[in-house]
Amino acid sequence: MKKALITGITGQDGSYLAELLLEKGYTVYGLYRRKSRLDYGNVTHLINKIKFVEGDLTDYPSLVSAIKESQPDEVYNLAAQSFVAASFHQPIATTEIDALGVVHLLEAIRNVKPDTKFYQASTSELFGGVYNEACDENTPFYPRSPYGVAKLYAHWITKNYRESYGLFACAGILFNHESERRGKEFVTRKITSTIAAIKKGHMDCLELGNLSAKRDWGHAEDYVRAMWLMLQQDRPDEYIIATGETRTVREFASVAFKAAGLDVRFEGEGVNEVAIDNNTGKTVLRVNQQFFRPAEVDVLLGNPAKAEKKLGWVREVGFNALVERMVVSDEQLWRMN
Ligand code: NDP
Ligand code: GDR
């Protein structure tokens, strides 16, 4: 029976990956950091199936203990301060976790159990410019946030430990992936949870920043399968995981309103753009400057051809199904409240 240690177990991806590995018969260990309140986040339903080990990516000794205790065949490093907007307010904490945290973990593996296979959660935020074609594994990096810069270090140190010490270290450059378990600060879940609240009469209006930003959005359940596949190959490597389609935030909101049964029209431009409910005449979406970033990644679009060919990875959830699943789930959550 294989053993895996997942950092970031309480997050969106950690929970789907834990489910996948448990299904495959793995013993799953989860790195859990101390909080003021016991809170297992997205794996609350799995607390009897996961073996939790205490630790924090910023604390090297705790990572050494976690590797000693779990003796993993595979480590999936999903832990991060993962909210790009917050990285502008907390650049140093973000760097300590997302960049230095990774070298702490690699060092712990190298010193305690160097035959462990390692997966690093790299990101499309490594790309920042406007490209003529979809980004692939050869597209130059140009991060545009403290988060992206920290993840760039993490990406290269992962590659460096592979080349320097022969670690089986992989990096998945994953484009945005969302789900019913996505944190409510990210734009997709903010949209679906606020729409559900508007329908219930608990909120009047959804306030967003840059409606023209474009993202390549897939479902997290599909993306964690790619992480596992990367560690089952003969050789460690880097792979882009994406859908190959890009859509604006405006389009996401528009499909979500429709999925929730609200008939809206968009009017105006720039900071004056609004969406109006055609039945009530009320403004249900407006732009708020507060949600713009000091530097923005305007467009992200990935080319997953290498992963499809070499890993045999296929995406199962399309864009409309993703939005619908999130809307239905948030409406259900409001019904239960
Ligand atoms: P989440 O924000 O949902 O989860 C982040 C996890 O990291 C949480 O479990 C959190 O634990 C943990 N964590 C944060 N800081 C520390 C720390 N110092 N030590 C240990 N654990 C910590 O992220 P996602 O699941 O969405 O993303 C998983 C990974 O993939 C992240 O590294 C993210 O940057 C990356 N990524 C995500 C993409 C996406 O679209 N979702 C795309 C590309 C990359 P706690 O509960 O204690 O806060
Ligand atoms: P992102 O995700 O920054 O791509 O990082 P997010 O959902 O936060 O933003 C996507 C785009 O939407 C624009 N936007 C808003 N964003 C938020 N959060 N709130 C708003 O009100 C809003 N209005 C417009 C943003 O400006 C941006 O252009 C996610 C994270 O999961 C990272 O950890 C991961 O590495 C990348 O995806 C790939």
Ligand index nearest the alpha carbon of residue 33: 1
Q: Which residues form the catalytic set? A: 123, 125, 147
Pocket lining: 194 vs ligand 2, CB cutoff 6 Å: no
Q: Is the dihedral of CA 320, 322, 325, 330 positive or negative?
A: negative
At 191 the pLDDT is 98
How does DSSP classify residue 176? Answer: P
Range of the domain at 280: 187-212+248-298+323-336
At 129 the pLDDT is 79
Q: Both 49 and 167 in a single domain?
A: yes
Provide the CATH number for the domain around residue 92: 3.40.50.720
Distance CA 332, CA 337 (A): 9
- Name residues of the chain where pLDDT drops below 70: 337
At 184 the pLDDT is 98
Domain count, the chain: 2
Distance CA 63, CA 55 (A): 6
Q: Both 129 and 202 in a single domain?
A: no
Distance 51 CA to ligand 2 centre (A): 32
At 279 the pLDDT is 96
Mutate to test the pocket of ligand 2, among 249, 287, 299 (most ligand atoms within 8 A of CB): 249
Pocket lining: 177 vs ligand 2, CB cutoff 6 Å: no
29 membership: H or E segment, kind and range: strand 27-32
At 130 the pLDDT is 78
At 336 the pLDDT is 77
At 131 the pLDDT is 84
Long-range pairs for 62-67: beta carbons < 8 A, 24 or more residues apart: 63/31, 63/104, 63/105, 63/108, 64/108, 64/111, 64/112, 66/5, 66/29, 66/31, 66/108, 67/5, 67/108, 67/109, 67/112, 67/113, 67/116
The mean of the pLDDT values for the chain is 97
At 132 the pLDDT is 83
The string of pLDDT tens digits covering residues 16-43 is: 999 999 999 999 999 999 999 999 999 9
Distance CA 295, CA 43 (A): 33
Q: Both 262 and 239 in a single domain?
A: no
At 139 the pLDDT is 97
Q: Both 233 and 122 in a single domain?
A: yes
- The rounded radius of gyration (Å) of the Cα atoms in the chain is 20
Beta strands 27-32 and 51-54: pairing type?
parallel
